[in-house]
Amino acid sequence: MPADVIAIDGPSASGKSTVARRVAEALGRVYVDSGAVYRGITWRVMELGVAAGDVAGAVAALGRMKVAGSVVERAVKFTYDGFDPGGAIRAAPVAERVSEIAAVPEIRAKVTGLLREAASFGPLVMEGRDIGSIVFPDARHKFYLDADPRERARRRAAEGQGEDGEVKRVLGAISRRDARDSGRATAPLRVAPGAIVIDTTGLSLEQVVERVMAAVREA
């Protein structure tokens, strides 16, 4: 039986996080941000003093780490050795290292297991980069959100009210992240078989949410 999961994948700043939250709220499902788990593990690895580039140290730290999930306000939240990192997972130091940590096969395997266990909390809307392709390949509903890279950079810069120069800087960062995510050997970013692709360029948030909801209702 297909997993009762709505999988929403896509590159950074494609709108998947906000769309996934809206869809989960509308359907009374539990929301899961898979990227937050990688950020949380990165945060804890850094707290434990593992140096950048020390892959073996990061894997060993995760092996000893206790990661636990619970539902808080209809979203799955994880703690790491009992600690809730809160907003620290969005800070620049974590952002700079999360791609390194997320590319490690042993760490991806551990996170994939944690995300699959989240299905015990009930019907989910889960967003990420490999949810429909690796984590829940049998998900009942799969979507892949994308947008023109410059549009994605504009959106990300707008979150901090950046000017045109900021858009160019963010565009460079997004392009590098796309290359890393698409080119990694383990669970690369790609459109999952059977996924509905939605180009969000020029669409409002409401329009994207409605397209996802319409496809779910039709299925």
pLDDT in tens, 73-87: 999 999 999 999 999
**What is the reported pLDDT for 161?**
46
Q: Are residues 130 and 183 in the same domain?
A: yes
Q: Are residues 102 and 170 in the same domain?
A: no
**What is the reported pLDDT for 160?**
63
Quickly list H helices, 28-91: 34-47, 55-64
Q: Are residues 139 and 166 in the same domain?
A: yes
| Edge-to-edge strand list for the sheet holding 67-72 | 67-72, 75-80, 30-33, 124-128, 3-9, 139-146, 196-199
Q: What is the pLDDT of residues 167-180, one digit of tens each?
A: 888 888 888 888 88
| Exposed/middle/buried for residue 47 (C-beta within 10 Å: 0-12, 13-18, 19+) | middle
Contacts 24+ apart (CB under 8 A), 180-183: 180/99, 180/103, 181/11, 181/99, 181/129
Quickly list H helices, the chain: 16-27, 34-47, 55-64, 92-102, 105-117, 149-158, 164-183, 205-218
Q: Are residues 132 and 214 in the same domain?
A: yes
Q: Are residues 170 and 102 in the same domain?
A: no
Closest by CA position to 203, among listed 211, 195, 214, 213: 211
For the chain, the domain total comes to: 2
Locus of tokens 């060993």: 60
Of the three residues 71, 87, 122, the one that is the final residue of a domain is 122
Cβ pair 10, 16 in contact under 8 A: yes
Of the three residues 89, 122, 155, the one that is the final residue of a domain is 122
Q: Are residues 189 and 83 in the same domain?
A: no
Q: Are residues 87 and 152 in the same domain?
A: no
Q: Are residues 108 and 128 in the same domain?
A: no
Q: Are residues 106 and 137 in the same domain?
A: no
Of the three residues 122, 142, 163, the one that is the final residue of a domain is 122
Q: What is the pLDDT of residues 123-162, one digit of tens each?
A: 999 999 999 999 999 999 999 999 998 888 888 877 764 5
> What CATH number does the domain containing 71 carry?
3.40.50.300
Q: Are residues 143 and 200 in the same domain?
A: yes
Secondary structure (3-state) at 84? coil
CA distance 61 to 75: 26
Bridge partners (DSSP) of residue 8 are 127, 143
Q: How far is CA 204 from CA 88, 140, 208, in A?
A: 29, 25, 6
Q: What is the pLDDT of residues 13-49, one digit of tens each?
A: 899 999 999 999 999 999 999 999 999 999 999 999 9
**What is the reported pLDDT for 170?**
82
Q: Are residues 24 and 130 in the same domain?
A: yes
**CA-based max dimension of the chain:** 50
**What is the reported pLDDT for 33?**
97
CA distance 73 to 201: 30
Q: Are residues 140 and 178 in the same domain?
A: yes
pLDDT at 1 over 70: no
Q: Find the domain containing 45 and state its range.
A: 33-122
Q: What is the pLDDT of residues 45-101, one digit of tens each?
A: 999 999 999 999 999 999 999 999 999 999 999 999 999 999 999 998 998 899 899
Q: CB within 8 A of 154, min separation 6: which ones?
A: 167
Phi, psi of 8 (to 5 degrees): -125, 110
